[in-house]
Amino acid sequence: MGRKRGFDETAVLDVVRDQFWTTGFVGTSTYDLMAATGLGKGSIYKAFGNKDALYVRVFSDYCQDLVTQAREQLQDGPQAVLPSPMARLEHYLVSLAEAFAAESPRRGCFLTKATADRAGEDKLVAQTARRAYEDLAGLLAAAVRDAQDAGEVADHVDGTALGYLLLSVVRGIDSMAKAGVDEATLRRTARAALDLIPRMDPPQFQG
């Protein structure tokens, strides 16, 4: 029977994620991780592997959580947060803008940071990031198609392309928030992007 670990794995991974998120991969040493977690080098490596493996682990977990949260906010059906697909899209984009602006300090989304920090050097990070972007864009595209089915968005709109466009807007808002753009501007940007989506023409009645 395996020996039970003397620490909370989830709590340790949360601390490690926050350390990498704040100082980046290169800016985080093994000694930094030891100090943050209170674990020895041997304990960290035995439980999670080396620094590279640990970074991929916490980044992958973060991406899965990000996609799950997006699904919960954008999904249609009995558990939908709002009945209207467009209302769900607006709530999702605006709430992200507000969350990015509310951070102090504004460190932005770990997905954006890790993509810039490690995707060019680490194939696993690049693959994980790309999969997260594809999943998020897919959820946004599904919400657009739900809006088409509900008669809110014009039928000719390419839902897949629009999903990636909205994802790009979110990533841009994230970057602007890190640069100190004010919350009101970030919210207006999110709403302006949604206002550009072609809506369904109202029915024409014969007089």
Does residue 190 fall inside a structural domain? yes
| Calpha distance 90→196 (Å, rounded) | 12
Q: pLDDT for 95-145, tens place per residue?
A: 999 999 999 899 999 999 999 999 999 999 999 999 999 999 999 999 999
Residue 79: pLDDT above 90?
no
pLDDT for res 1? 40
Does residue 203 fall inside a structural domain? no
Does residue 49 fall inside a structural domain? no
User: What's the CATH number where 108 sits?
Assistant: 1.10.357.10
How far CA 158 is from CA of 52, 54, 148, 171, in Å, comes to 39, 39, 10, 20
pTM assigned to the model:
0.89
Range of the domain at 114: 59-195
Does residue 53 fall inside a structural domain? no
Domain tally for the chain? Answer: 1
Q: pLDDT for 18-59, tens place per residue?
A: 999 999 999 999 999 999 999 998 888 888 989 999 999 999
pLDDT for res 155? 94
